[in-house]
Structure 1
Amino acid sequence: MNPILIDIVAVAIVLGVIVFVHELGHFIAAKIFGVRVETFSLGFGKRLMGFTAGDTDYRISLLPLGGYVRMAGENPMDQPSGKPDEFLSKPRWQRFIIAFAGPLMNILLAIGLLVPVYMREYPHNPVLDRPAVVAEVQPDSPAAKAGIRPQDRIIEVGGNQNPTWETLFMQTAISVDRPLSLTIDRGGQVVHTALTPIQDGNSNPPLVGLAPEEVTRFGEVNKNSPAEQAGLKPGDLALAVDGRKVLDPGNLVEEIQAVQPPLDSVKLGTPGKTITLTVERNGKSLTLPVTPTLAENVSKRQWMIGAAFTSDTTFLRLPFSEALQHSLQDNKRYSMVILDLVGKLVSQKASIQTLQGPVGIAAVTGEAARAPTLLPLFSVTSLISLNLGLLNLLPIPVLDGGMILFLFIESILRHDVSTRIKERVYQAGFAFLLILMTVVVYNDIVRAVVVRN
C-alpha cells in the first residue's frame, strides 16, 4: 500500500478513536446528570445510519474522524429555555464534571493503552536512568558551542535539579531553537551556560551533540575481519583502547581513527596501525591486538575492525500491576513535559516550530502503523490522547478548559457572565485556534519540504 495512504488511514483511525472516547466522556457524564443528549454521532457530516433511543439520535456519520455529542442548551450563545434537562439548567458543579469528563477519558485512554504495551515489552535502557555525565561532545554541535566538555556533569537543566539523561533529552526536545539554561559541575567548579538545540529533520530528535557514558558492547563480528582474527567475540565489553578508557561507542570509533594514518594517504583495504583493545568477557579482562583496515562506510572512508555494537536496552514483560504503575509514572512524566512546553510557549522560551500538526502526526502514526505489531501504534495513540486531554483543559474559549474557566468565574461572581461577553470571547478563542492551526500546518509542510530536499 502507498505510504501516504497508510499515513492518512492510520491517522484517521487513531484520531477517530481518540475523539470518540473524548466525546463518550461528555456523553456518559451528561446522562448521569440527566442532561438531554440530542445526538451522539460516530463521525461527522451527513447521517448514514442509526437509531433513536429516548431523546437521543445514535448515528454513524459520513466522515469517520471521531464523533460529537450535542446536548440540549449547551451553546452558551443560545438563549436557554429553562427546561430542567438542558445543560445550562444544571448546577455549575455538574456542568464542570461534564466538561472535565472528555479530557479525563483521554487521559485514562493514554494510561490504559500503555498497559498492554508494557505487559508485552517494556523497554529499559539503564543509560537513561543515570546522572547526566557527558562522555562525548560532537565538534561544531550546539553542545560544543555552549562550551560543554567531556566529563562535565549537568546538575541543572531548565530548572530540573540533578537530571538524568532522560530528563535532559526531554528538555532539549521541547527547546528547539531556544536557549536552554544549564548548570554544570566541572571538577568541583560550577559553570553556567545555555544550550540551543536545533531541528534535525522532521522525524529525528533535535540535534544537541551530547553523548552519555554508556556500555560499549560488541554484537555481530564479521567473518575474516580484523576483529575476528584478533579473537573478539559477540558480547565482549570494550574497556580501553591503548590504555585509554572507552566512554561510549562513538568514543571508541574516534580513538581508533585518531592513531591511524591519514585517510587519503593509503588505499582501501590497507591495514593500519595495530591498537591494543582491552575487553571484558565473562567477568575477566582480556587484551587483544587489533589491526584496523581502511574501508568504505556510508560513503566515507573509515578505519574499521569489522564488529558492530549492540545496545544494552532490555525488553521486559511486566505483570499487570507493574505495567499499570509504569504507565502511570510515564504519563505523569509526559504530562509535566507537555505542560512545561505550554509554559515555555506562553513565555516565548520555546518556539512554535516545536509543535507538530496533522501532517506531522500523520507521519508518526503511519510509521507506527507499518510496524509488524500494534504495540508502536498503541504507544503513539497513547501519547496523542494524553496531549489532546491536557490541551483541552487549557483555559481557551471553545476548548473544555475555556468552559471550565467561565464556570469558575461565574462561581466567584455568583451569576452568569452575559451572553454578549461570552460570544465575543468565544469568537476570539476560535480565531486564536484557527491562526495557531494555520501556523502549525505551515510548519509541518515546511519541515516535510526541507526533509525531502
Structure 2
Amino acid sequence: MSIIIAFLVLSFLVFFHELGHFLIAKAFGVKVEVFSIGFGKKILYKTYKGTQYAISAIPLGGYVKLKGQDDINPLISNEDKDSYTKKSPLKRICILLAGPFFNLLLAFIIYMTLALIGQKTILPIIGEIQQDMPAAKSGLQKEDIILKINGEKIHDWLELNEAVIKTKGPLQIIFQRNTKILQTTLEPKKANSKNIFGEKIERNFIGIVANGDIGLVKYNLRDSIDYAFNQTWKSSKLILQSIEKIFSGVVSVNEVGGVISIVGFISKASQNDLIVLLSLVAIISVNLGVLNLFPIPALDGGQILFNLYEFITRKKISPTSLYYLTIFGWILLLALMGLGVYNDIHRLAIK
C-alpha cells in the first residue's frame, strides 16, 4: 500500500508542475495538445476542447505537449496564432517558469498548512545551563521558556537555535519564568562546530541545552505565512548548496539519489503519519521546482535560457546550435538520472 501511495504522490507532484505550464499556456492562447501524467503508452485518455488528457504507463513523470513545441526535436515550429513558437520570448519564459513556480507554490501551501494545524516539535524550554557560558552569566535558568529573541517569536527549539546562529551582535531574550515575563541581553560566544555537510565552521553558542519536552506547536495565520516562506526558501537554498558541495567534492557523487530513493522515502513516510508525509512531499516539490530551473536544455531552465538569448539579442539561436545543445542536455540529464538509479541499486544491494 505504501508503494502505491508513493507513486500517487509522485504523480500528483508532476501533475501540479504540468498544471502550471498548462494554465499559463492557456492564458496566453497557446493550444495544449496533450496533458499526460506519466510517459510511454497511454493507458487512459480523453479529448476535451482540443486537449488530450492522458494517464500513461510509466508513472515517473509527465508532460504537457504544446502546439509548436517538441522537447525531443527542438527544430519543430508552427506559425499558427495559437502556437507556442508564435508567442513572444517573454510569454514563452512565463509558460516555462510556471511549472517550477507551481512546485514552489505547492511546497509553500503545504508548509503553511502544517504551521496552521500544528506539528510536534521540541519546545524552547531550557533543560541545562552550561557553566562559564553567556547564558549562565545572563541570569537564565533551567525551565525558563524562551519567548522572543531580538523581537522575533520563538515557537520551538529549532527556531531558537537558528536565531542564535544568525545573530551578528547581542541577543535580547524575552523569556517566561513561572508566571513572570522577564528579559535579558547577552553576547553569544564563538566556537568551532560542523555544518550538515561535515565541514568545520565557527558559529554562535550561548550555553543552553533543551530539556527535551515535545509539544504541538501551531502558528497564527500571519506567522504561518512567514514560516511557509522561510521553509520554502531554506529548502531551496539547501538544494543549491548540496549541488555546490557535490561539484566542489565536499559531498560524494555516491550521495546522489534517484527515483528509487524518492519512492522509498515517500513509502516510509506514509507509514508514520500525515505530518511526516506532507513535510517530505513539500521538500520533494521544492526539489522539482529548483532542479527544473537548472540551465540544462532538456529542462525548463535550459529552454528559459534559449528564450532569454532571443529576447536580448532579438534573434533566435541557430538551428544547429539549438539541436546539438538539446542533444547534449538530454545526454546529461539521462546520465544524472542513471547515476541516481545506480546509487539507489547499489545502496539496496549492500543493505
Q: TM bucket by the smaller chain?
A: 0.7 to 0.9
User: In structure 2, how many angstroms separate the alpha carbons of the residues matched to 1:184 and 1:316?
Assistant: 27
Q: Matched residues, percent identical?
A: 33
Return the offset for 1:355.
Answer: 2.6
The residue number in structure 1 matching 2:297 is 397
Equivalent residue in structure 1 for 2:270, among 350, 369, 389: 369
1:58 matched to 2:77: no
What residue number does 1:120 align with?
117
1:20 partnered with 2:15: yes
The match for 1:69 among 51, 64, 73 is: 64
Matches of residues 334-349 of structure 1 in structure 2 within 5 Å? 334-349=235-250
Matched, 1:435 2:335: yes
Q: 1:73 to 1:315 in 2, by over 3 A?
A: same
Q: Does residue 1:183 correspond to 2:180, yes or no?
A: no
Alpha-carbon deviation of 1:60? 3.3
The answer for the alignment partner of 2:103 in structure 1 is 106
Q: 1:96–1:404: 8 Å Cα contact kept in structure 2?
A: yes
CA distance in 2, matches of 1:31, 1:440: 34
Aligned to 1:245: none
- CA pair 415-380 structure 1, distance change in 2 beyond 3 A: same
Distance in 1, matches of 2:342 and 2:121, equals: 36
Asked whether the 8 Å contact 1:344–1:350 carries over to 2, the reply is yes
Cα 1:79–1:69 change in 2 (3 A) is: closer
Task: After superposition, give the CA deviation of every residue in 1:2-37 in whole Å (9 maximum; x if it has no partner).
Answer: xxxx2x323211110111110110000110111111
- Alpha-carbon contact 1:355-1:440 (below 8 Å) kept: yes
Are the aligned partners of 2:104 and 2:285 in contact in 1 as well (CA < 8 Å)?
yes
**1:116-140 C-alpha deviation (Å, 9 max, x unpaired):** 22222234433432346xxxxxxxx
Distance 1:359 1:32, change over 3 A: same
Tell me the TM-score normalised to structure 1 length: 0.59
| Residue of structure 2 equivalent to 1:45 | 40
Q: Aligned pair in 2 of structure 1 residues 361, 51: CA closer, same or farther (>3 Å)?
A: closer
Q: How far off its partner does 1:332 sit?
A: 1.1
**Whole-Å separation in 2 of the counterparts to 1:374 and 1:60:** 26
Aligned residues: 291
Match of 2:218 among 308, 314, 317: 317
Relative to 1, partners in 2 of residues 1:156 and 1:107: Cα closer, same or farther, differing over 3 Å?
Answer: farther
Which runs of 5 or more residues in structure 1 are unaligned? 133-151, 158-167, 187-211, 217-310
Contact 1:122/1:318, CA 8 A, preserved across alignment = no
Q: Give the RMSD, CA atoms, in angstroms.
A: 2.6
- With over 3 angstroms needed to count, the CA separation of the structure-2 counterparts of 1:416 and 1:124, relative to structure 1, is same
Amino acid at match of 2:23: I
Q: Which residue pairs with 1:407 in the alignment?
A: 307
Tell me the CA shift for residue 185 of structure 1. Answer: 8.3
Segments of 5+ residues of structure 2 without an aligned counterpart are: 125-156, 166-187
Instruction: Work out the CA distance in 1 between the residues paired with 2:204 and 2:39.
Output: 56
Counterpart selection for 1:80 from 72, 77, 81: 77
The letter of the residue matching 2:26 is: K
Deviations 1:273-318 (A, max 9, x none): xxxxxxxxxxxxxxxxxxxxxxxxxxxxxxxxxxxxxx22332133
Structure 1 residues 35-60: Cα deviation after superposition (integer angstroms, max 9, x where no partner): 11111123333334443233212233
Equivalent residue, structure 2, for 1:233 = none
Given the superposition, is the C-alpha separation of residues 426 and 321 from structure 1 closer, same or farther in structure 2, using an over 3 Å criterion? same
Deviation per residue, 1:383-435 (Å, 9 max, x gap): 00001100100111100000111111222222001121111111111111222
Higher helix residue share: 2
One-letter code aligned to 1:52: T
Mapped to 2, the partners of 1:58 and 1:119 lie a distance apart of 35
Cα–Cα, structure 1 residues 49 and 438, in superposed 2: closer, same or farther, change >3 Å?
A: closer
Alpha-carbon distance, 1:89 to partner: 1.0
- Asked which structure has the greater CA Rg, the reply is 1
- TM-score calculated relative to the size of structure 2: 0.75
Residue by residue, what CA displacement relative to the aligned partner does 1:91-111 show, whole Å, maximum 9, x if unpaired?
000000000000000000111
**Alpha carbons of structure 1 residues 213 and 91: separation in structure 2 relative to 1, 3 Å:** same
The superposition leaves residues 245-295 of structure 1 with CA deviations (integer Å, 9 ceiling, x where unpaired) of xxxxxxxxxxxxxxxxxxxxxxxxxxxxxxxxxxxxxxxxxxxxxxxxxxx
Secondary structure, in 3 states, of the residue corresponding to 1:377?
Answer: helix
Q: Alpha carbons of 1:446 and 1:41: their partners in 2 closer, same or farther (altered >3 Å)?
A: closer
- What's the CA shift string for 1:315-341, capped at 9, x where partnerless? 213333332321111111111111122
